[in-house]
Every structure is written in structure tokens, then in C-alpha cells.
Amino acid sequence: MRSCKHMKIVFVVLLSAIISSVTLCKVPYDQFKHLMNNSIVERLFHEEPCACMERCLAASDDEWFTERFRQNVPPLLSLNNSVLPDNIYTWWQSLQSKSQANYSQVIQELFSVIPGEGHYRDAGPSRCRTCAVVGNSGNLVGSFYGPLIDSHDFVMRMNKGPVEGYEKDVGSRTTHRIMYPESATHLDNTTHLVLLPFKILDIQWVTSALTDGTVKRTRYKVIDKLQANKDKVMVIHPAFMHYVHTTWLHIKSRRSYPSTGFLVLMFALHICDEVNVFGFGANSKGTWHHYFEKMPKSFKRTGKHSGGIEHQTILELQERQLISVYRGW
């Protein structure tokens, strides 16, 4: 985290000296007024949305962005925000097979195992949280982005994308691993597990996987006992998923839903001040594959995800200098 607090104190001292000089030397008022209108003075004496110097998402006045960005939509579930409006619950249930489970009870059981307080609602002038969103694209191969990725405050990875053996290209740090039951992998004690719940059973699974291991199948057989730090587990809010689906992608079909990568990018936009994206899209030859797999012979389709819309939205975010996208070599 970076802070402007000490800089402001120093500047106040300097400003006092300048005012004394103005008084003693009788500097013309117009010149002094010009000095006081300087952008540096304005930046230091008016509260900034964040402490980042190069880019601050919260400071953006881009009309295209502000029409879509909803700061009031909670990215993560907590005990205080878990009630779902009927339209969002219906949409969420439509993504997968419906469940007869009692949602309220499932939530109570979840927060008897993991922390129930809110997270990352601490945006303000003293915070500069830099985040690397690391996808699994083959365009990372030979990129040597590892040190750059590791330099961020948060390093977000998704699903089973490995680190060991690929450090020079993908980095070695992982602060958040976003996954769903079918893509789950064991974590060390320092990494946040961030669950993407596409159905109630997914929430039941994470509660079970951290305790007695009774849920052994979702769509198919899954890890029943997961190695992860319970105190670092978080769950993406279904209302946040719905918001991305409708506001950012304008998807009308109920059966379609955003990809994991796009949801993670949106998650980062809401909890970070500066976002840099790695490992998204095709490689330089136009081939879509994972950096840890052999080069495929054919194009990989995106299934129920709106890949084209997501791709265009990411390009738009980059062109408007709201994010930086690193495309590899």
C-alpha cells in the first residue's frame, strides 16, 4: 500500500515557506494564484480516490466506464449481504440444474465454517492496490513476465493453472485462486480460495470440502477434502455474477454466463485500484491453448461463454487506458 499522507505533511511545510516568501518578497498576487492552481497542489489538497500515481480506477470519469461500473454491487458474499432478490436467484438457478436445498440454511452453514464479514470495501485516498489477473493462455510461454506479475499486491490466478516449472513466465506468487468445484485444486496456507458458485451445490461443496467431505460429486466427481486455509476462503456473490452478465455483457440468454476469466477481471476492477492482465486471448499465431498444454491443432471454442463480447469489452477497457493487457510474444 502507498500513502500520500507524509507527502502532504512535507508539502504543507513547503507551502508555509512559499507563503512567507510571497509576503517578504511581495510576489504579485496573480503569480501566486497561478502557483496555487498548479495541478500538483490540487492533487495534494483535494482528496484523491486512491493513492496510485499512474492510474486510479475510482478516479475515472470515462462515460462508457461509469455507465457500467456499479460500486454498490458487492463482489463477495457476506453474512450481511447474502439475501438474493427473486430475479437474481432465478437467473442463478437457471445456470445449472435446480436444487431443492434451502439457500438460507446453506449460507448459514457456509459462514459457520468461513469468515462472514465483508472484504475489500476499503477504497480510499490512502490505498493503492495493484492487481495482476493471470489467465492460462499459451501467449504466456516465453514472455518472461514472471517478475512483473509477482510485483503486484494481489496476484489472481484461476482454476488449475500451475506455477511450478513456469515461474519465469507466469510468476511464483498467488494471493487469490479463483475456482469452482470441477476446477478445484489444493492450495497452500497463504492463498485465498475464491469460489465461483454457479449453483447452490457449489456452496455446499466448499463447506463440505473444508469439513467432513460428504459432497463427492457435483456435475461429476470432485475433490471431497480440499487443502485450503478456511480463514482465507471467499465466495463470489451471485448478484455480482448477474451484474457482470447483464450490465457489462448485455447477455439476454439465461443459459449463457460469463467466463471465469472475465468474472475474475471484473472482480479485480471492483477491489483494485490498478489492474494489469496477463495470459488472456490467443498466442501470436492466433491459437488458443493453455500455457501448460501442448499446442492444439484446432481452435478451442468458448462453449456457453460470450467470448466475442468479452474480448471486445477487454479491448475497450484497454483502449480507454482503464487496464493494461500484456499479450506475450
Encode burial over 177-199: b for 16+ CB neighbours within 10 A, e otherwise. Answer: bbbbbbebbebeeebbbbbbbbb
Return d(Cα 208, Cα 37) in angstroms, integer.
Answer: 59
Beta bridge partners of 134: 157, 278
Question: Model pTM greater than 0.75?
Answer: yes
Residue 18: how many other CB atoms lie within 10 Å = 15
**Interacting residues of 102 by C-beta distance below 8 A, sequence separation 6+:** none
Q: How much is the pLDDT for 49?
A: 83
Query: What is the pLDDT at residue 2?
Result: 43
Residue whose grid cell is 515461474: 167
Distance CA 214, CA 225 (A): 9
Give the active site residues.
257, 305
DSSP codes, 224-241: SS----GGGEEEB-HHHH
- As a whole number of angstroms, the distance between CA 169 and CA 144 comes to 4
Letter string b/e over residues 296-305, b meaning 16 or more CB atoms within 10 A of that residue's CB: eeeeeeeeeb
Question: At what angle are helices 200-209 and 103-110 packed, to 10 degrees?
Answer: 30
Measuring CA to CA, which residue among 251, 252, 254 is closest to residue 307? 251
The pLDDT averaged over each successive group of 10 residues in the chain (329 residues) is: 40 39 44 42 56 88 96 96 95 84 96 96 92 96 97 97 97 98 96 96 97 94 97 98 94 77 97 97 78 70 60 96 91
Instruction: Identify the pLDDT of residue 253.
Output: 65
Which pLDDT score, from 0 to 100, does residue 155 have?
A: 98
Say if CB 133 and CB 111 are below 8 A apart.
Answer: no
Amino acid present at 16? S
Angle between helices 260-271 and 307-319 (to 10 degrees): 30
In sequence order, which ranges of 117-237 are alpha helices (DSSP H)? 146-150, 167-170, 200-209
pLDDT at 72: 93
